[in-house]
């Protein structure tokens, strides 16, 4: 699950999209299910969904760390070469650091929902801290790249830091459906944009390489990001509409 490759971008983006798609269904069900005759059952199901979220993050990010450190060209948990006096594969270490923050957040999330005496909102705080750290690593990672490569990575900072700010607000404003849907939108966009980066940096199926010094390419990718966000918002409207229709249908049958 190395982010330097085409497959690595797809897997990492898939992780973000999986979590975002889970939220896309979870939050409308939680909000609209409160008035349903199944509200008690729904609340119990959503309680266990939280463990699926955090447990999935821990498992997948731990797998990513092991892959990044133990593959043939990986640093194998060695940071510095004493003989050559050089750092060893710092790009791999950056990815491992990012994933370790997500693992730590997953552990805090599980402990928060296990009825331990932990301050309310600590899970959102750690999630915000993890996203801020991810954005910082992305920014420094892009500093040594070509102009186009830098540009698409800088665009990635928009959903990353937007999600970080949203999660920070949720420390004090919990269970706010607007904030939850906004965080869902930027998280899915983060995943789809990671896929976009993969197809730009590693063209597939006979597609020509991008001109990394063409300003028009940057203009197009700015519009492309807007299309990603618009598509995600439209998708969330559809999911919300389906859940709303089902909730109203269940309510009418009850009456």
**Is residue 150 within 8 Å of residue 124, measured between CB atoms?**
no
- Contacts (Cβ under 8 Å, ≥6 apart) of 19: 53, 56, 57, 187
Q: CA–CA separation, 3 vs 24, rounded Å?
A: 25
The predicted structure's pLDDT at residue 185: 95
Q: CA–CA separation, 78 vs 125, rounded Å?
A: 31
Q: Among 13, 5, 23, which residue's Cα sits nearest to residue 185?
A: 23
The predicted structure's pLDDT at residue 2: 44
The predicted structure's pLDDT at residue 1: 40
Q: CA–CA separation, 40 vs 132, rounded Å?
A: 36
Q: Within the chain, which residues score under 70 in pLDDT?
A: 1-5, 34-41, 142-145, 205-208, 250-255
H-run or E-run covering 144: none
For residue 154, count other CB atoms closer than 10 A to its CB.
14
Burial class, 122, CB count within 10 angstroms (exposed 0-12 / middle 13-18 / buried 19+): middle
Cα–Cα–Cα angle for 25, 97, 185, rounded to 5 degrees = 25
Token pair 């939108």 is at which residue? Answer: 185
The predicted structure's pLDDT at residue 129: 95
The predicted structure's pLDDT at residue 190: 94
**Is residue 166 within 8 Å of residue 184, measured between CB atoms?**
no
**Is residue 96 within 8 Å of residue 58, measured between CB atoms?**
no
| CA distances (Å), origin 61, targets 4, 94, 106, 157, 158 | 16, 13, 10, 20, 22
């Amino acid at each position: 699950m190395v982010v330097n490759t085409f497959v690595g971008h797809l897997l990492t983006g898939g992780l973000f999209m999986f979590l975002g798609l889970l939220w896309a269904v979870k939050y409308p069900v939680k909000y609209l299910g409160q008035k349903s005759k199944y509200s008690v059952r729904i609340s119990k199901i959503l309680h266990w969904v939280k463990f699926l979220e955090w447990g999935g993050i821990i498992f997948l990010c731990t797998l990513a760390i092991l892959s990044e450190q133990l593959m043939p060209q990986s640093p194998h948990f060695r940071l510095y070469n004493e003989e050559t006096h050089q750092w060893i594969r710092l790009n791999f270490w950056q990815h491992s650091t990012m994933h370790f923050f997500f693992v730590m957040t997953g552990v805090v999330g599980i402990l928060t929902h296990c009825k331990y005496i932990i301050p309310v909102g600590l899970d959102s705080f750690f999630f915000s801290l993890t996203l801020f750290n991810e954005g910082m690593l992305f920014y420094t990672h892009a500093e040594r790249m070509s102009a186009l490569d830098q540009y698409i990575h800088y665009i990635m900072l928009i959903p990353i830091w937007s999600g970080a700010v949203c999660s920070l607000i949720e420390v004090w404003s919990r269970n706010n459906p607007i904030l939850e849907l906004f965080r869902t939108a930027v998280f899915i966009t983060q995943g789809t944009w990671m896929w976009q980066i993969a197809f730009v940096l590693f063209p597939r199926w006979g597609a020509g390489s991008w001109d990394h010094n063409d300003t028009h390419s940057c203009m197009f990718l700015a519009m492309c990001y807007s299309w990603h966000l618009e598509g995600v918002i439209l998708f969330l409207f559809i999911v919300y509409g389906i859940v709303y229709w089902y909730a109203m249908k269940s309510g009418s049958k009850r009456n």
